[in-house]
Structure 1
Amino acid sequence: MTSLRGFAVVDTETTGIRPGYRHRIAEIAVVHVDFSGEVTDEWSTLVNPDRDLGPQAIHGIRAAEVRRAPKFEQFAGDVLELFRGRVPVAHNLPFDAMHLRAEFARLDVDLSRYLSGGVCTMRLAGDVFPGMRRSLVECCKAVGVDGVRFHTALGDALATAQLFGRLVEGAPDLASFRLRGLPDVYGDLPSMPQGLVKPVHRQAAGHAEPHFLARLVDRVPREGKPEVDAYLAVLDRALLDRQISVSEADALIDVAHDLGLHKAEVIQLHHGYLRSLAQAAWADGHVSVGERRDLEAVAALLGLVADEVDLVLREEQPTRVERSRSQVVEVNIGGLVLRPGDRIVLTGTMRRQRGELTAEALALGLQVISSVSRKTRVVAAADPDSLSGKAKDARALGVPVVTEDAFVRALDAMKR
């Protein structure tokens, strides 16, 4: 039997409340604390939950981050080793234990007995300070723990570790009584492969992904001129919501490499794309303020300098004779346009209620369906890099995945 070596403080961020509703762990942290209450080690990683991320406004995790993170089964052995010989500690232990049991159960590992021997700091805080509020933030405030980043797995685990130390220090007899009553199950854990993957952490606040053009290299020799329709088709889909997600950037890079396009050739395609939008903007004889802003937004997304917009607008401006012949009509130079009868799919936890968006779409004559097919016009997602099954199906079928904001703008346009 492995001797007791200390405590393993654990925290998880999840896609929702109940594993029974197919919710998964999206981030996990384990912090080691010795018997004197000192933090001796910390470990954390984002987790690819293979589904949408649920309430992102709460945990703040983006799909662009977790899509490159390992899946739980790839580091489960590391977690078991972090637990081995240590008492599990968590704030609201039943919640974290519920999700940990579910994740390990998918791997045919029963962690129930081990987790039953844990300490819940929420319960312990209530025993030490009767009437104390339940939340980790309030408990930490009450005992003077500050300077932590709450609502991240590592931040909450470190805060819980400090809270645990203060509670034990403030009521050693009660804490000792609690620990003596725990079952001796800390070495009773199976072994699984370790070190298979490296942890992936959250990106720093304000982090910006490098422009996808920076990831294209002039390294693919070829003869002749390739067909570029495939690249432009992906670009059309990516720019529907006037945002290029990480998933779309990856798709553009893959297509460019498959075609053997050099970086300089891709930039030339981008210039031509912007020029075609400028031609469309001039079709009614004038360029509105909104059209110009749209051109500037597209230029920035394509990695073109702002002066390029002025240049193409000057070069594509029709002559006086051409303007006199043009009809004054509204021309949409790009972006998402929805029409009655279009099939749309919603995915993820959006800022607006799903029922509200659905009712508005139905009232405008759109068809709101639950599954994606080739006839689907767009999938509107809470996160454009969503890992939901609907978003995955859309990318496989070439159906655009757009942001909630772009979808709402398109609904507003249908009302005019």
Structure 2
Amino acid sequence: MVKSHALAAAKQTFALAPGLTLARVVVVRNDLRRPCILSFAVTRAAVESIRWDVAGADEIVASVASEVLVERDGVFGDLGPVDALMNEVYAELAAGARRALADMAAGEPEAAAEYPAGFAVVDVETSGLSPEYDRIVEVAVVGTDRNGNVVDEWTTLVNPDGPVGRTDLHRISVADVADAPRFSDIVGELTRRVAGRVIVGHNVQFDLRFLHAEFARARLRMPQVVSLCTYQESHGYLPGLRRRRLPDCCHAAGVVLTDAHAALEDARAAAGLLRVYLGSGHDLVDTHRRLPQHAARIGWPRVTGTGAAVKVRPPAVPPPIPAPAGALAALLEDLPISDLLSEEAPLSAAGYVELLAEALEDGVLTAEEAAALAEHARFAGLTRSDVDAAHRGFVLALARTAVADGRVSVDERRELNNAADMLGLPEGLVKRLLSEADSEWVAQLSRACRPLPGGWAHGEPLRVGQKVAFTGGDPVRRERLEIAAQAAGLRVMNNVSRLTTVLVTPEAQPDSRKGEAARQHGTRIVRPGVFEQLVANVQAAAPEMSVAPNAEPEVAVAAVTGRRVPGVPASPAIIRAWARENGYVVGPRGRLPQDIQAAFVAAQGAI
């Protein structure tokens, strides 16, 4: 290990001094009670020729270093003093190294306490999404050891010298922060708690961007730190989640989160995730356990504490009651963000889409939120095409969620169009995406259908995508049948029209508005017992059924036949289905190869 650190020091020296061709490394014990234990010289050319990934430290020193001085003590081969082996020049080098170490120790009597090894789980609540314009209003740090066990906690409200932003979200008012310390008052204590540690957070880049901005306002330079994001790493440790917000990951990992959007509670929850990750036995654990040794080498600014008293937010009693969710918020709640990105999208795009979902949850995208999103995209290294693809995938995922229950409400359609407009997507895209999502939904459910049982005696079976309605009867049984109908791929409607396939009612001639409409349109009327048999044996969609609600005729033809109609682009879902039927290998997501698209167009032209 000593030789490994010495070689790393030589490598860093050459990196920092381009004109240097030779370096001598002298190692002394850090407790000052033992003399020099290692000395060698190494050239830049020798260091650049090292295969760091395959060679061990002993092998490297033996092969590339010169003037090596080393002694081994005892049966375990510990490095012993080599001063007696040195000539006058080397001895002076060792003495100088010991004096420098003594000076450092004298100037930093609390160095070990000030730079603890391990992780610092950080969470900030802010007045908005843009570090350039918005400020931190609360910060928390939960310190852990290398195994993720909590060793200390600290939190305070912060006076932003301005607006506090969305009080409805973080529940921090202007009055709460009026007598709270400013960031410049607590930056010394904050630095003491994070320096030397790996910075951890859920979507940690968001927190780091705000910390960098606040350090700059305090006329300090925050270093580029070693960090670990519990959101990004959840793809490895918690695979298969539809959403990866902090509450989603905590629920999947069995971690308690009692008060979301309170900095200390969020930091505690992320620390719980870290502990679960590090104790999981996953292949990633060894890599993440080594991060603290890299973090300990990061230099932080020396900041004298002001002694300002922290202010802790009062506990939320009674617990906050969330506002009723609108149609868009309801769609976002179960949005499978991990599935909406193409296979070519960078991993950092997932964090951008999570931030996008949070900004759009209230159905409004302000200029400040748009600017913050653009800034986050730049920070994450996303290109214009990456962002455009993320926006389209985001609205497509919303459309898939909207059609998952077999119907798209007026509110859902309005919110989808509103979201597409806010994101600058083409007019009419929502209608096409709904058609595409509905076709995928019908096709997926149709593939799961089983043949009718022998001796079928209930007439024409129901098919995926058909519309059914209910009237009268026991409310509990009716609700159970409605849920079963939706699960089987039927569209449960609130009225009866010429497109309704069956009306379910316990009455032979129902005396209701739906019953009257059914008689007028010739809609089939069935009893609940018969419907139970029908819904248990729903068949694959007939061609005329595989269309989105309210789809235009030519779009419907393309959706059900896979045949390209002039002027109407075929959806990727249709091309994928055609490709699989014709022996092409295609994935469920991502860009379709040009040769498959060309083959599809040629095949349609030959029909």
TM-score category, normalised to shorter length? 0.3 to 0.5
Structure possessing the higher radius of gyration over alpha carbons: 2
TM-score (norm 2): 0.33
**Larger relative contact order (Cα-Cα within 8 Å, sequence gap ≥ 6):** 1
Normalising by structure 1, what TM-score?
0.47
